[in-house]
Amino acid sequence: MHYRPMLATLAVAALWPLGLSSMALADQATPTKAVIELFTSQGCSSCPPADETLAALSAEPGVITLAYHVDYWNYLGWADTLSSKENTARQYAYAEAFAARNVYTPQAVVNGREGMPGQDRDTLQGAVQRLSGDSDRLPVAITARLAGGDMTIDIPKGKGEADVMIVAFRPQVTVDVQRGENRGRTLSYVNSVTHMVGAGHWSGKPVTLTAHLAAAGGDGTAYAVLLQETKAGSRSRQAPGAILGATVIGPDAGL
């Protein structure tokens, strides 16, 4: 694993107001038991096994997988073609939530509740099983649909309150890495995150939210909708908490 120390000056955020693609995708509402978020990098020699594990777990029923390519290893000789500062900021936000002293790749986060190394499939499957129990499961069955450039999200009555985030991702990407630790390798990725946008807030009462997705994406884009709590981080800043509900929209969204 590759470790990077925490930087106190890095802004921590859970939501980013960015434009997303307006492509028409089929409505999809799939019961979800787990969300696996992987923080990875094309410039990290330890990451390809984790990327393969994520691809395998994408076939598990009821499991949503998302790959966030971080940018802090770009100086090692290869700039990750899928990386962004927003992806890096989300990982640092989780570090705040977990009171961690550093971030690393590959790191997996399950249901927003627990972080762990991302390359061991048995460990991840065990975490999915454990965190899908009565106390840690995703209790809110949210649904979403697209009509033109508008996404409508329906959230039923439940306990607690949470923010709603739309995550745009590319279901399949293949990259020829020409330099750095993985030079000469052709790497395949699933569900690589490209944009994130906050869509509103849920206070425990039934609500329907509508988000207009500005035309800024491209063909093949799919979407995940996450209903996620926030909590105080280790530096008294808001950080992402437990994911209470999730769904995907798109023909190749990885379920």
Mode of pairing for the β-strands spanning 150-155 and 207-212: antiparallel
Query: Nearest-5° angle of CA 98, CA 229, CA 102?
Result: 20
- Tokens for 187? 């790497």
Q: Does residue 65 form part of some domain?
A: yes
Q: Does residue 170 form part of some domain?
A: yes
Q: Does residue 255 form part of some domain?
A: no
Q: 147-189: per-residue pLDDT in tens?
A: 877 899 999 999 999 999 999 999 999 999 999 999 999 999 9
- Tokens for 57? 């777990």
Q: Which of 224, 232, 233, 231 lies closest to 199, judged by CA?
A: 224
Rounded to whole angstroms, how far apart are CA atoms 196 and 205? Answer: 24
CATH value at residue 54: 3.40.30.10
Under a CB-based contact definition with an 8 Å cutoff, are residues 164 and 209 in contact? Answer: yes
Range of the domain at 243: 2-249
Q: 29-78: per-residue pLDDT in tens?
A: 457 899 999 999 999 999 999 999 999 999 998 999 999 999 999 999 99
Q: Does residue 254 form part of some domain?
A: no
- Tokens for 209? 């939210």
Rounded to whole angstroms, how far apart are CA atoms 38 and 87? Answer: 10
* pLDDT higher than threshold 50 for residue 253: no
- Crossing angle (nearest 10°) for helices 48-57 and 121-130: 40
**pTM > 0.85: yes or no:** yes
Q: Does residue 197 form part of some domain?
A: yes
Predicted pLDDT at 111: 95
Q: How many domains does the chain have?
A: 1
Helix (H) or strand (E) segment spanning residue 232: strand 222-232
Predicted pLDDT at 146: 87
